[in-house]
Amino acid sequence: MENTDLLHQEVTDEIINAFYFVYNELGYGFLEKVYQNSLYLELMSRGFKVEPQKQIKVFFKGKQVGDYYADMIVNDLVIVELKSSNGLEEQHEAQLLNYLKATVIEVGLLLNFGLKPQIRRKIFTNDRKKSLLKSS
């Protein structure tokens, strides 16, 4: 059985490296959009394919019931959700898991540009997904 903990680790390691680079340059206290734009530029300069504000359609019983907008998708492999808050909360992690459930993407990173930088890496493999995957 494949160790899913290491799924796309090279890509996530590089994203995390870029996150710390941006955090160290800008510090704490900007709005999320400033960090998103900065991380986008940093990842692009490192040769990654980055899609900001990527629309994710959500289906229920085969019918589209809504849309999410992921902060960015990197190399079609990793959903990156950014926060700029005092700390990560359970609802932030649930949001990222829902993005993963609604797409064929299996790995997500939750990055918080708070007083202390925080990172959560989430995996939801496609074999665990049900009828949610009608379109992505």
- Cut 0.75: pTM above it: yes
pLDDT for res 3: 62
Q: What is the pLDDT of residue 49?
A: 98
Domain ranges of the chain: 9-126
Contact (Cβ atoms closer than 8 angstroms) between residue 49 and residue 74: yes
Give the pLDDT score at 136.
45
Among 101, 108, 110, 107, CA closest to 136: 101
pLDDT value for 2: 52
Ranges under pLDDT 50 in the chain: 1, 131, 134-136
- The mean pLDDT of the chain is 90
Match domain 9-126 to its CATH number in 3.40.50.720, 3.30.420.10, 3.40.710.10, 3.90.320.10: 3.90.320.10
Query: What DSSP element (H or E) covers 100?
Result: helix 90-101
